[in-house]
Amino acid sequence: MIRVSRFAATAALTLLAACASAPTQFLTLLPPPGEAHERGAPAGPAVVVSIPGQDDQPQLVVRRSDGSLTVMESERWIAPLGEEMQAALVLSLSPRWAALPPAHVRVDVQRFDSVPGDYAFIEAAWSVTLDAPPKRSASCRSAIRIAVGGGYPALAAGHRAALEQLAADILAQAANLRDGGDPAHCHGVSGA
């Protein structure tokens, strides 16, 4: 009888240990409080972001060296990825938009690759439309690759840097439109 009890206790402990998992790590595309842009910044453009379905999930999706994708169960975005990207772009654009007229920005993310210890990559087709007369708009594309160190926080930081570069591309094109530049010519578009 004692032998059965010890076996049952050992089996139960083994089962409990197997069920224990790594704690969930939440990631964000927003800058840390010390790096955040000042509050009370002027209003920026209205920003709408759409992302590919395979990346639109709470878990971080990483690309492996063989090209396969893996959904990381313990590494998750703190908010829906599209909302995170939109908030990061608004935070980046608003303080620098003061000299530009009201506008609408649409960002269609086409690739959002995360390769731990290697790079963060964002490719997006985007448009900016200045609302002040004369109403002008331009459609552009950016492909931004940022080298990252090891760990998932470094990967999130790489994506934050890529979004900062995307915001710089959008600002350059908005300034070009304000100054009467050719809307067909995209200024500041980043290379891969």
pLDDT in tens, 47-82: 999 998 888 888 989 988 888 888 899 999 999 999
Strand 103-115: give its sheet, edge to edge: 46-50, 103-115, 119-130, 136-147
> Sorting pLDDT into bands at 50, 70 and 90, what band is 188?
very low
Q: Please give the CATH superfamily to which domain 25-178 belongs.
A: ABC-type transport auxiliary lipoprotein component (3.40.50.10610)
pLDDT for position 68:
87
pLDDT for position 182:
79
Q: Which of 39-48, 101-110, 150-159, 173-182 has the lowest mean pLDDT?
A: 39-48
Helix (H, G, I), strand (E, B) or coil at 56: coil
Look-up of token digits 């959002």: 112
User: Residue 102 CB: number of other CB atoms within 10 A?
Assistant: 13
Distance CA 116, CA 41 (A): 34
Amino acid occupying residue 188: G
Residue 37 has pLDDT above 60, yes or no: no
pLDDT for position 191:
42
How is the chain split into domains, by residue range? Answer: 25-178
Residue 105 has pLDDT above 80, yes or no: yes
pLDDT for position 20:
53
Distance CA 9, CA 15 (A): 10
Provide Rg for the chain, Cα atoms. Answer: 22
Mean pLDDT estimate for the chain: 83
Amino acid occupying residue 156: A
Instruction: Return the higher-pLDDT residue of 163 and 69.
Output: 163
Q: What is the dihedral of CA 113, 116, 118, 121, to 10 degrees?
A: 20
pLDDT for position 142:
95
Instruction: Return the higher-pLDDT residue of 45 and 181.
Output: 45
Distance CA 59, CA 71 (A): 6
User: Residue 123 CB: number of other CB atoms within 10 A?
Assistant: 19
Distance CA 177, CA 124 (A): 20
pLDDT for position 98:
87
Residue among 160, 191, 187, 192 at smallest CA distance from 171: 187
Residue 14 has pLDDT above 60, yes or no: no
